[in-house]
Amino acid sequence: MSRGIPAPVPSADTSADGTGVSRVPLLALCVTEITSWGVLYYAFPVLSQAVTRDTGWSTAAITAAFSASLVMAALGGIPVGRALDRHGPRVLMTGGSVLAVVAVLAVAAAPNLWTFTAAWLLAGVAMSAVLYQPAFAALTRYYAPHHLGALTTLTLVAGLASTVFAPLTDALSSHLSWRGVYLVLVAVLAVVTVPLHLLALRRPWPPPPETAPDRPRRPHGRTRASVSGTVRSRPFLLLATALTLSAFAMYAVVINLIPLLTSRGATSATAAWALGLGGIGQVTGRLGYRVLVRRTSVRARTVWILALSAATTAALAAIPGPVALLIAIAFLAGTTRGIATLLQATAVSDRWGTASYGALSGILAAPITTATAVSPFAGAALAAGLGGYPRMFLVLTFAAVLAAALAAGTAPARTTTRHRSAALPTRPAARLAPHKRRSET
């Protein structure tokens, strides 16, 4: 075995499917993603009214602080992705978990709005190191070329974060102040995420598949040059623009779905159920993504998914009822959101491989996360300025249609033809674990 190449994974630490890849990182990240999303993201909307009542700070001000954390997470994802490519996820995600604990403690103890905002900005830095992007990067490298199954499992399980933590946070808030609730939640965050990231991610960080087993590892300078060239390429710029526009439209729809439905005669309870069914639709979409990958090219599925999102947004804008039909459309819109999560997770590896996945996905995610953060405010402002939610949804439709049109140019030359995803190899030899192939050279 040559120097610098990780040792083979012991057979006792392998999965039962014959791929020779340990399930431990996947299982650990499923647990830590549920917990991190639940504490850092989903607890806030449940507690926001209590924060306002207790402190006197306006809802707009505390929501702006929370949105600023998402923007900070988007910006932090770029250097985190680069560092993860080089060093692996263990130190970054463990450090991110520790920082998240400190940040949530600061949120709970904040004596004024400025401190509250600063604490959320710190939480945003932690989010960049513990939420989906670093987890996607870790699984893509650990499980290549079978990473699509791992990514699907992670998004399916992590999708339960709101199901677990929203009711838990609400139940705690009936007995404790919002500060007390955050103290309980931060204890859960510390006990669950820090040790799991520290212990479960300690396996050797494999080199990129493009460098193993028979190709020399590229110098870091060449890797950075390759990333820079990819980022400046027309397909990457179009991809970033298309996914950003689509994310803006999708999440503005989510936030403003309830007022749209109530303006068309639905009760608040019915509208809430419609939003919840959209969440079930997300899980349904993710379950079917592997079939979609087998039957479509990279470019085709990107265009069709974004086009379907545009179609559901247009339907919500144009169809006045009945309410049951609107609920069915909301479910279909949720399905497209669920697929879009995996579409973004595999966008880089399907087009440019996994060698610089962390760096490229961090850069790609930055504008998408920023658009997601500002979409609630922008959607509400559009509705007020245009005179109603149907017109606002019509504007979102135009953004989604433009996203689908731009997606037609997002495939590099080698992926323009119909083919199977790299996550679904066709040759039997590809089922050998990457670790085993390296050990045999």
Q: What is the DSSP annotation of 372-386?
A: HHHHHHHHHHHHHHH
Residue 95: per-residue pLDDT: 94
Amino acid letter for position 424: L
Distance CA 141, CA 44 (A): 32
Report the candidate in 408, 404, 410 with the shortest Cα–Cα distance to residue 352.
410
The answer to whether 330 and 284 have CB atoms below 8 angstroms apart is no
Q: How large is the angle between the packed helices 24-37 and 113-130, nearest 10 degrees?
A: 160
Domain-by-domain residue ranges, the chain? 13-208, 233-417
Residue 385: per-residue pLDDT: 82
Domains 13-208 and 233-417 share a fold: yes
Residue 212: per-residue pLDDT: 40
Peptide bond just before 208 cis, omega within 30 deg: no
Question: The domain 233-417: what is its CATH number?
Answer: 1.20.1250.20
Residue 63: per-residue pLDDT: 79
Q: What pTM did the predictor assign? A: 0.68
Residue 209: per-residue pLDDT: 59
Question: Buried b vs exposed e over 376-404: b needs ≥16 C-beta within 10 Å?
Answer: bebbbebbeeeeebbebbbbbbebbbbbb
Distance CA 67, CA 117 (A): 10
3-state DSSP of 223-271? HHHHHHHHHHCHHHHHHHHHHHHHHHHHHHHHHHHHHHHHHCCCCHHHH
- CB under 8 Å to 404, separation ≥6 — which residues? 242, 246, 303, 306, 307, 309, 310
Amino acid letter for position 131: L
Q: How large is the angle between the packed helices 90-109 and 132-143, nearest 10 degrees?
A: 160
Cα of 218 vs its chain's centroid, Å: 29
pLDDT digit string (tens) for the chain, length 441 residues: 333 344 433 333 444 333 456 788 889 999 999 999 889 988 887 788 889 899 999 877 887 888 888 888 888 877 887 788 788 889 999 999 999 999 999 999 999 999 999 999 999 999 999 988 888 888 888 887 777 778 878 887 877 777 788 788 888 988 999 999 999 999 999 999 999 999 998 888 777 655 444 444 445 444 555 777 888 888 888 998 999 999 899 888 877 777 788 888 877 777 767 766 776 777 777 777 878 888 888 888 889 999 999 999 999 888 887 888 988 888 888 888 888 888 887 888 788 876 777 778 778 888 888 888 788 777 777 887 888 888 889 999 999 999 999 988 877 655 444 444 444 443 333 333 434 433 333
Residue 392: per-residue pLDDT: 87
The answer to whether 217 and 63 have CB atoms below 8 angstroms apart is no
DSSP E strand stretches across 6-66: none
- CB under 8 Å to 26, separation ≥6 — which residues? 139, 142, 143, 150, 153, 154
**What single-letter DSSP state applies at residue 215?**
S
In the chain, DSSP finds a helix count (H) and a strand count (E) of 18, 0
Distance CA 185, CA 163 (A): 15
- The topology (CATH level 3) of 13-208 is Growth Hormone; Chain: A; (1.20.1250)
Amino acid letter for position 352: W
